[in-house]
Chains A and B, each alone.
Chain A
Amino acid sequence: MDPANLAMIIGSLVVAGGASFLVFKNFKAIKAGLPASDELSEKQGYKAAYFAYLSSVWVAVLALWFNVFADNSGLTQLNAGQVVGAVVLIPGIIFLGASIYLNNKGV
Chain B
Amino acid sequence: MNEKMKNYLGFGIVVAVIISVLLWFSFAESNLISLPFFGILATIIIIAIWALKRKMDSVKSGVPVEDELSKKLMHKAGYYVFLASIYVTLFIGVFEENIAEFFGFPMLEVHHVTAMIVLFLAISFMASYFYLSIKGNVE
Contact = CB atoms under 8 A, between A and B. Distances in A.
B110 A88 contact: no
Contacts of B108: 80
Interface string B90-103: 10110011000000
A53 B110 contact: no
Nearest to A57: B121
A80 B78 contact: no
Nearest to B19: A65
A49 B20 CA distance: 24
Contacts of B133: none
Contact of A53 (B16, B19, B78): B78
The range of chain A's interface size is 20 to 34
A45 interface: yes
A46 B118 contact: no
Contacts, number: 99
A87 interface: yes
| Interface of chain A, main secondary structure | helix
Interface string A76-94: 0111110111011001100
A50 to B, nearest CB: 3
B75 A47 contact: yes
Nearest 8 CB-CB pairings of A with B: A50-B78, A84-B93, A49-B79, A53-B78, A46-B75, A49-B82, A53-B82, A80-B113
Given A46-B78, A79-B110, A83-B110, 13 more contacts: A46-B75, A46-B79, A49-B79, A53-B125, A56-B85, A63-B114, A64-B115, A65-B20, A65-B23, A67-B114, A80-B109, A84-B89, A84-B92
Interface of A: 43, 45-47, 49-54, 56-58, 60-61, 63-65, 67-68, 77-81, 83-85, 87-88, 91-92, 95
